[in-house]
Amino acid sequence: MNTVVFTRNKKVTITHTESGMIVSATMQDNNHKIEAVVEISFPEMSIIAISGDMIRVPRPECHHALGILPKAIGLEIKKGLTLRMEEAIGGNCGCAHLTNLVMEACHASIQGQYTKFRESFSDILDAMSPDERTRAYLDIHPSIVNTCVVFREDSEAIREARNHPETYRIVKLKEQIASHFNKKPIH
């Protein structure tokens, strides 16, 4: 008979705000109960505020890692974030579990970004074909390439998106996004 000797659970919630989103992440296991709250700007997708709490940790010294969390402010949610985050709040001045939890929040923020776009631009997105949406997303967020198997440089999804013509709806979406955020249209 096998006996379970360790269990870890994580939970992430995202709340949209006027300027972006607040991502709350918690991790609880046999030895820890840790929380991280990361506020992320939209559409820039950069960390504008961060806090944490260590409710249960193995040693009192663990709490020192909370003091370096502000070093993550300004980091952008884009390719290479894991290394930049490790340099900012990890290592021998940080906490591997807290750093991992902040990264979990940042990874989840991509889903929050998508739902924020859906919330703001659902009328035009609903009228678009899947290929149009992928082409538009690739135009808006080109750093998505090579972030996963679906968006691999040589994947069918990326190839089809790049070959898809820039339709009226794609142009209209990019203009709406630019107008909404007071920026120049994306080309």
What pLDDT is attached to residue 187? Answer: 47
Task: Give tens-digit pLDDT for 139-181.
Answer: 888 878 888 898 899 999 899 988 989 999 999 998 888 887 7
* Ranges of each domain in the chain: 8-113, 128-180
Residues 6+ apart with CB under 8 A from 102: 25, 36, 38, 50, 52, 69, 72, 85, 89
pLDDT grade, residue 19 (50/70/90)?
Answer: confident
Mean pLDDT of 57-82: 95
What pLDDT is attached to residue 183? Answer: 57
What pLDDT is attached to residue 144? Answer: 81
Q: Using CA of residue 119, residue 125, residue 126, residue 131, what is the dihedral sign?
A: negative
Beta strands in the chain, from DSSP E residues, in sequence order = 8-16, 20-29, 33-41, 47-56
What pLDDT is attached to residue 180? Answer: 78
Q: Is the pLDDT of residue 38 over 60?
A: yes
* Whether the Cβ atoms of residue 65 and residue 89 lie closer than 8 Å to each other: yes
Which residues make beta-bridge pairs with 33?
28, 56
Mean pLDDT of 32-57: 95
Highest mean pLDDT among 42-46, 93-97, 160-164, 177-181: 93-97
